Structure 1
Amino acid sequence: MASQPPSNETVQLSETATPSPSLVPRVSTVAMWALFLLCSGVLALAVTSGGRWTVGGVLVVDGLTAIMWVVVTFFSGIVHSYSRRYMAGDRHLDGFYARIFAFTLAVMTMTAADHVALFAVMWLAMGLCMASLIGHVRGWKQAQAAAGTARRYFLASSGLLGAGLVALTWATGSTSIAGILGQVGTVPRPVALGAVGCLFLAAIIQSALFPFHTWLLSSMTAPTPASALMHAGFVNAGGILLTRFAPLLADEPAVMSLLVVVGAFSALLGQALLLVQTDIKRELGASTIAQMGFMILQCGLGFFAAAITHLILHGFYKAYLFLSSGAAVEQTAPEGHHRAGTSLPSVAVSLLTAVGGGVLFALLTGKGTELNSGLFLTFVVVVTTMHATRDILRRTALPPSLRLVSVPLVVLTAIGTYAVLFDAISAVIASTPMAQAPTDLTAVHLGVAAAFVASYLATELGWHRSNKRLYVALLNVSQPSPDTLLTSKEDYDDA
């Protein structure tokens, strides 16, 4: 949770927060859950009819829109409900609820926008709302500095997105995303590359990929509910943007390869940064960088449906972790951790589980059965399964015999569930142009695969701890903006 701002006044803390007399939190929460139920009905209608509805060339409601609406309103409903107690007593409570409600509406409108101006305006609006939430504590200079840092990144992202959309509108004469994508072949190549470059940069800035990850690591001054809400279509909005413009990207093999490289590097870097963090919220931030890297990587492989599946699952998981971070701090006891050593049986079980996970994923999704980027996607599943199995085996306190049987069953069940959900989401967003557009395997994929294997081995061997230069380098890269840090004990509120 974010630290309290410095103050010259004595602050009295009570065991139970006093409920706010304002009706805004209650009305806003009820309205959000009602909106969730309405969106669930829209999703059910989209699934059963397979329809795609347009509203005056301004909005489009298709499978992608419907599923993102349900996810966003569910996240926001949870945050609204959680905040009624967490934020109780905050002097700016009504403003907080107004901003999270407005943020939710901005994300929903962005996912449905077909007019380029509306898409760009909503992209900017949700950025400004999030920056304001990061700096919610008005009297805390570090929070205001973090908000300013985030705002600059979001304005840059919005500017790049606007430039790309203006270029595409000028080249095609169309002001709708559908119209632009229908004329991709008529766009001059220099204009197309410039526009793709702008969209690419806008996506990776928003998703906090390296070297634009600083805004996310600096945003830990935000109230914990705001950090959770960040995963409701905001930090993962890069995946939505690239999925909407998939036909423009898929025609450029070099761009797709670049997405793979940038996504893979950020995934590996985020995982490495996670290993050297001591602050729980910053650990979650580093983990988000890694997961957003995987999301962009999947876009580069041409599996945009996989990217949407990933951002949804990651959003659920990370929102839960942020909202439960306070309890995690209270319950952590270093001497209470159990960490089993490495043994030949555990290594063998991990390898077999990883191979089994890859085979199960390939059988359920059909990916990895052909010599294209689907094979690389399956390889990522194998590496992820291996890492998860090894981590659980080391941490669980179950007896060895039970551990070696139960852990593979749990992991394989999770992989099977992921594969089924991937297939379901692929079916729901099938009306989205090029939801799946696998690419040919290249030397880039082989190089990235080798990097994944090397990174996994380095982590297993603990090189980040034994190599002091590497450890310090990772610490330096993971530092937030200096003016967002509390560096003096006098800055803390000791009341």
Structure 2
Amino acid sequence: MTGGTSKTKVGALPETTAASPLVPVALTWLVWSLFAASVAALVGRLRLDGPWQVAGVLSVDGLTVLMWVVVTFFGGIVLSYSRRYMAGSSHETAFFLAAFGFTTLVMALVAADHVALFGLLWLAMGLTMATLIGTVSGWEQARAAASVARRYFLASSALLGVALTALWWTTGATTITGIAAAADGLGGPVWLVAAVALVLAAVIQSALVPFHGWLISSMTAPTPASALMHAGFVNAGGVLLLRFAPVVTVDATLMLAVVAVGAASALLGKLFKSVRPDVKSELGCSTVGQMGFMIMQAGLGFFGAAITHLILHGFYKAYQFLGAGGRVHRASPDGTSPAERGVDDAVVTIATGLAGGALFAALTGKGTSVDGGLLLVLFVVITTLHAARSAVQHASLPTAVRYGAVPAVFLPAIAVYALVYRAVSGVLSDLPVVAAPTELTALHGVVAAVFVGVYVAMELGVHERSGRLYVLLLNAGQPAPRTVLTDAEDYNEY
């Protein structure tokens, strides 16, 4: 070594208005126009009664217009961001076409009423997302990631096809609204096949454990595509369960199984996140856990809460992915460990969590009866505890200020969440089932006890003391080998 250093000169980022190809510009403005139209449709749907439909084909209800607003907003943000991110790439136009196509497919999906149309749009949505994952077609790892994702999405579509065919067979209805109207008579082996297939299709699409492999392997996707995936695509599982809520709520045992699956994924997603070394994979594992919470809420019968969760998670995760570059920094220990902060931290954290749960129950009325609402409030308490503990440990503020700031920040946030939940439930009020609280059983108590026990153990760092567990988690959260970049030169598409 000569001791000298060399610097690579990097030019200024291109301006989005300079020499932008026509297609990206036009599609970006078109998506924002769709957003404005969607907001108008939402207002109109709330003010005007009566069905908005093309009989037997399309049906525009509260869920439709709400998801139109959400998906076009995220689409507009992602495409605007991509004007600079993809500038100069040979794949720029193809990326914008695929991203715009994905947005319009989701808009059509949430309006589809005919089961065949719904199934085809579900398939097309998955294939388009696989295309976005493999945008850089000359990159071997990107092609492999797209192939992995495509296999999962085809499996999800096949399961949905089985479910829709079984429901048509047993009800004679060719529309989702027709199936919902006949749901009271569902039961028996054909219904069981349909219901289990629906749940599995939702679980795969939302990347719950053990089907999280496609999401962890998708890190080759351009960052804006990752934002669109984590803010929108994975949420399709919650939308599917709400659309077919009259089917899956027929049997309490199935709903309990949905809660258990969601709880396992919520815990494992958090554990996987703790061992990931890179920002995007860490965010991906976080999504696995958050989708577990969403599916849990659906399993408890609170579909409005699940939709609220997916919307708020979408905003958060889109922001996190689009700002992922800012999280890459060199860190060093500051000499302060959580254990040295004292008992007062635990008191403030626990008090804030309990107050948050009480506030949520007071504003929504959930948790005031002996039903699934109690567990919903419990999850709010746990979420508040986790956020408050993180803030108390890492906030660079004097002790007294920190202890006062934590409840002052988090309790209003819980109030906003509760009010958004009520507003979303109001928008969804024209759907057949928005809330069907499950009756609590001893098994619900077991699931809740195990969940809380494991969660507390993780918060205390018990899992960090086992080398064997660390290796197991690291292996279980690994992407498919063919999608892993081993040579930085492979990233150069030119």
TM-score by length of 1: 0.94
DSSP-derived class of the 1:260 partner: helix
| Contact 2:208/2:291 (8 A) holds in 1 | yes
Question: Which shifted more, 67-76 or 345-354?
Answer: 345-354
Return the match for 1:333 from 324, 331, 352: 331
Partner residue, 2:460: 461
Identity %: 54
Instruction: Describe the shift of the 1:49–1:490 C-alpha distance in structure 2 as closer, same or farther (beyond 3 A).
Output: closer
Whether 1:131 aligns to 2:130 is yes
1:433 paired with 2:432, answer: yes
Deviation (angstroms), 1:446? 1.1
Q: 1:441 to 1:84 in 2, by over 3 A?
A: same
Distance 1:15 1:108 in 2: 37
Q: Deviations over 1:150-205 (max 9, x none)?
A: 00000000011011101111222111000111112334511100000111110000
SS in 2 for 1:326: helix
Worse-superposed segment, 11-20 or 343-352: 11-20
- Is the contact made by 1:181 and 1:248 (CA closer than 8 Å) also made in structure 2? yes
Note closer, same or farther for the CA distance 1:115–1:337 as it changes in structure 2 (3 Å cut): farther
Q: What is the CA-CA distance between 1:52 and the residue it aligns to? A: 3.7
SS of the counterpart of 1:333? Answer: coil
Deviation at 1:334, TM superposition (A): 3.4
**Post-superposition offset of 1:487:** 2.8
Amino acid of the structure 2 residue aligned with 1:424: A
Aligned counterparts of 1:338 and 1:230: Cα–Cα separation in 2: 37
Do structure 1's residue 14 and structure 2's residue 22 form an aligned pair? no
User: 1:217 — aligned with what?
Assistant: 216
Aligned mates of 1:168, 1:23 — CA distance in 2: 45
Aligned-partner Cα distance in 1 for 2:20–2:384: 49
Q: Given the superposition, is the C-alpha separation of residues 112 and 276 from structure 1 closer, same or farther in structure 2, using an over 3 Å criterion? A: same
- Distance in 2 (alpha carbons) for counterparts of 1:244 and 1:422: 18
Alignment check: 8 A CA contact 1:60 1:113 kept: yes
CA pair 58-465 structure 1, distance change in 2 beyond 3 A:
same
Q: Which residue of 2 aligns with 1:290?
A: 289
Match of 2:363 in 1: 364
Residue aligning to 2:28? 29
Q: Which runs of 5+ in 1 are unaligned?
A: 1-10
Partner of 1:274: 273
CA distance in 1, matches of 2:401, 2:89: 48
CA deviation after TM superposition for structure 1 residue 80, in Å: 0.8
Deviation at 1:337, TM superposition (A): 9.8
Letter in 1 for 2:461: G
One-letter identity of the residue aligned with 1:88: A
Which deviations, in whole Å up to 9, do the C-alpha atoms of 1:21-48 show, x marking residues without a partner?
4200110011000000000001111222
Deviation at 1:489, TM superposition (A): 5.9
Given that 2:352 and 2:406 are in contact with CA atoms closer than 8 Å, whether structure 1 keeps it comes out as no
TM-score, reference length from structure 2 = 0.95
Q: Which runs of 5+ in 2 are unaligned?
A: 1-7
SS at match of 2:478: coil
Equivalent residue letter for 1:412: L
Instruction: Name the aligned partner's letter for residue 97 of structure 2.
Output: A
Instruction: Indicate how the Cα distance of structure 1 residues 107 and 12 shifts in structure 2: closer, same or farther if over 3 A, else same.
Output: farther
Instruction: Look up the match of 1:253.
Output: 252
Residue aligning to 2:299? 300
**2:5 corresponding residue in structure 1:** none
Give the RMSD, CA atoms, in angstroms: 1.8
Native 8 Å contact 2:231 2:317 kept in 1: no
Aligned counterpart, 2:350 = 351
2:406, 2:61 → 1: CA distance? Answer: 39
Report the AA paired with residue 372 of structure 1.
D
Q: How big is the shift at 1:51?
A: 4.5
Residue identity in the other structure for 1:129: T
